[in-house]
Structure 1
């Protein structure tokens, strides 16, 4: 006979957004059931690069900027907290980031002045000295020295371990949601093959799959999968001391010498099969940035599905006409960047606390079809 379970909040989706949503709510004393249709963190949260900044922060709206700034300032604390609680280090690694030959460099510098962010022009001779592996031929550079990257698979592992230590959290993996429970016009939980889960609130944090889930309630959520492919090289630990970005492609160093290069932007539905043309394109970009990678070992090539949304602005908050239903999804290319602020904002709204930032730009009201 199928089981029945009760919780104050049911979170659908175990990516970094779902994990951090559950973690923040549970830390406030809320009982939480977290569901994932496979293992937590196995989709976009695992597949991404982990730069703790939008790739081109000045090209985004104030709504994305507000979440990004709060999260960037919070990430070092989050990394230390998770290491202390679980013994797993998410490796929040401050390397800085160089942008090379930007077409909109003047706009970038003006944005930095306005937002008081430490972006500055750097002479190319100084860049070549700091990053000897960088290809010759670039003429201009701007840098932010305080940009970090987080090792996202380790972040997911640490969050999972932290949740398993909390007595008011139930984690259910391999547990796909098949529908919603509605009573008297209110969402009261979800249906799964393993049984019904009743909850006072249901939070949809299912990344690229969020729109598909909500169709069952007649809600048109403009979130769709956008495929991205990456490759991973193994190099010496001191090969690349800083992240570098040119022509839309980036290289990210990990502490142990692994170098991530990404990424493609493809609209291919829910197909996340890695392809040979993408691999060839990524290798070409990698070698144009860092010529020595032509002789480096490629140890991985994979694809993930980003939750594409209009202008990359996530949906955070309650859904009108569906009392009890909440969203924290649609972060597009910036899920890892925006996660701490997005999940703090969700918890603030759900628990009726003063929100960390103005919640209006993210509210589902007026943005759903």
Structure 2
């Protein structure tokens, strides 16, 4: 089977990996904006405050850590890149979430979401750098983070060496040519026609721009998130921390990601001084000692927002050879492996690992057939 994947962020690369490993010929067309969410995210392998998300999000996210561990073991000997699944655990400091968080672990029965209530003496043992203002927290020892820029490098490197994969980096797809109930071919911006058996759209925050061509409304829009990066000594901060939707994510080499903001400003990916100041103030509130260390970088990314944060995974209802894997909002990295696995199972007509109907475009999209 010959498959064209449009978009080379985390969803596109993982989808390509799943399909190529099953023997499909995969051609990846790297749009000019590739990776603006995948590279920019924090890489927490769990939804933040999972009880605030629909069950459909958590059903995919719960597989992220184990699937990444499996892929890292397979890819690292080939690529020489360890994308660092860092098992730090996470402290949630929001007192209003303690009770619901502790109840959630019992209801959901997911080992990843096991948590414990800690008072100050225990907190000092888990994370001695935490501000004295926090006298208790709930602790999730199983939650890890992945170093997503290295993850993307590893996936890309592995796929470039794969005999079933070819990248087209300077040929972004611009048009879909539809004949009756299928895409006959897609066209690059230089006018080249590209044929395939199946077409997969994984274009993240830009996916809504295809709505008119595909004849339905894809309710995916960009939501900007800004981050800052602080450099501390290696292994300085022992856990991830979260308070009021702001987080600290330690990497093994001492870099600490501080984030993140949420702003609807179209496709603007520029940082602002005020938002950066707000991020750092939140970081210093959680861990005051961070103010002693340098801020080495800041950036913004564009999340692919969907109405409830539930991704659309599956075949478009009116086009028999078009599939989508998009709309993951804030959880594309943790849902990514299971989303790609589900897409592969659907395309190849294999038994599915989760109930696919809750992600079905036909179920989630309000079909609006457009007339020319």
Q: Same fold (TM over 0.5)?
A: yes
Distance 2:277 2:70 in 1: 38
2:237 equivalent to 1:229 = no
Distance 1:26 1:102 in 2: 46
The answer to whether the 8 Å contact 1:345/1:356 transfers is yes
Deviation at 1:247, TM superposition (A): 1.2
TM-score calculated relative to the size of structure 2: 0.94
The answer to whether the 8 Å contact 1:188/1:202 transfers is no
Alignment equivalent of 2:327, drawn from 325, 330, 333: 330
SS at match of 1:46: coil
Which stretch shifts more, 290-299 or 223-232?
A: 290-299
Deviation at 1:295, TM superposition (A): 2.0
Deviation at 1:202, TM superposition (A): 0.8
The answer to whether the 8 Å contact 1:102/1:246 transfers is no
SS at match of 2:325: strand
Distance 2:280 2:15 in 1: 36
Alignment equivalent of 2:130, drawn from 122, 129, 134: 134
Deviation at 1:40, TM superposition (A): 4.7
Which stretch shifts more, 57-66 or 336-345?
A: 57-66
Task: Please list, as runs of the form range in 1=range in 2, the aligned pairs for 1:167-316 lying within 5 A after superposition.
Answer: 167-194=163-190, 195-316=192-313
Q: Determine the structure 1 residue equivalent to 2:9.
A: 15
Distance 2:250 2:18 in 1: 29
Instruction: Give a deviation string over 1:331-360, Cα, whole Å, max 9, x none.
Output: 000000000000000000000000011101
Alignment equivalent of 2:356, drawn from 343, 356, 359: 359
Q: Determine the structure 1 residue equivalent to 2:70.
A: 77
Task: Please list, as runs of the form range in 1=range in 2, the aligned pairs for 1:39-188 lying within 5 A after superposition.
Answer: 40-41=34-35, 43-116=36-109, 117=111, 118-188=114-184
Deviation at 1:85, TM superposition (A): 2.3
Deviation at 1:29, TM superposition (A): 0.4
TM-score calculated relative to the size of structure 1: 0.95
SS at match of 1:126: helix
RMSD: 1.3
Instruction: Give a deviation string over 1:300-358, Cα, whole Å, max 9, x none.
Output: 11000000011110000000111111110000000000000000000000000000111
How many residues in Structure 1 have an aligned counterpart in Structure 2? 362
